[in-house]
Structure 1
Amino acid sequence: MTLDFSPLFRSAIGFDRMQQLLDAVPDASASSYPPYNIEKLSAEDYRLTMAVAGFRAEDIEMTVKENTLVIAGKVTTDIQKGETLYRGIAARAFERRFALADHMVVEGASLENGLLHVALKRVVPEALKPRRITIATATPNTVPTIEQDTAPLAA
């Protein structure tokens, strides 16, 4: 099934990235590990929370490049005492990619009780914020006059 987005582009300018974002939508059959939540805390603040039980801070790498946040985890092998009879806590390597909107910045991250919290904020530069444009009105002295022929019309 293909969708026709051409009606959207009739009145939209500069949305060239939309096709790239649609192409980057992950496959529904892709792995859902590790699970995560995305919360909107305010108009500009967001939080990504990812369940990473068994990972330490040094096992997780976060990078941002070209509006993409990449979170990757790889557990280093530790020498364990004893024998593991059952492993229910997944500690397999993972990589998750998140497309970030323009002007989204990662403010920081923390690992607490097996949850990785990533703080994100929309920071719009002053030059891109809406601004009011004043409309100048013409005064009688600045309005150009149009000279008209004052000769009477022939009947």
Structure 2
Amino acid sequence: MTAAWISGSGAVRPDGTAVVEPAAAVTVVDLDGLADIDFGDTEDELTRRGILRTDIDACGPTLAGHETVSPIFVDDRLVLLWAGEPVRTPEGVAAGTPLAEVRERYPAARHLDAPQGTYRFDGLLARDGDRAYLFLHDGGTVHKVIAGYADWAQRAFDEGHAPC
């Protein structure tokens, strides 16, 4: 079971052994960014490296090889990554993770209430220095994982911003 959690697959064979996914199948977003993308990188830098794409019909720039991740830039610098399934934190949290598991893995996370009368999700902000994860949830399950600079994650939650 532990190997399944570490691998991020969560799948277990009938004999109780973990089904381990190939490492390439799991994308991890941590508080530095992604394997080939760091918070603070510029749009020009990522475009020059062939990572940032603007030629795809989307609501904004996209990241090559990361179809479920939306970058947020402020003053030409990457400040947040909005990640959908199958992207996970190093602790295994992804869209679809039960909230109870998030609280176990991030016990110091602070609860954030969505404004009354809106259709926005509540949040859990797990801060580590100037970086944080923001987990948007419906009270039972994570719907979106946002990673990046803590102040920008808090601001995105407070103001209701999204990639589109």
For Structure 1 versus Structure 2, the TM-score category normalised by the shorter chain is under 0.3
TM-score (normalizing by structure 2):
0.23
Q: Which has the higher helix share?
A: 2
Q: Specify the structure having the higher radius of gyration (Cα).
A: 1
TM-score (normalizing by structure 1):
0.24
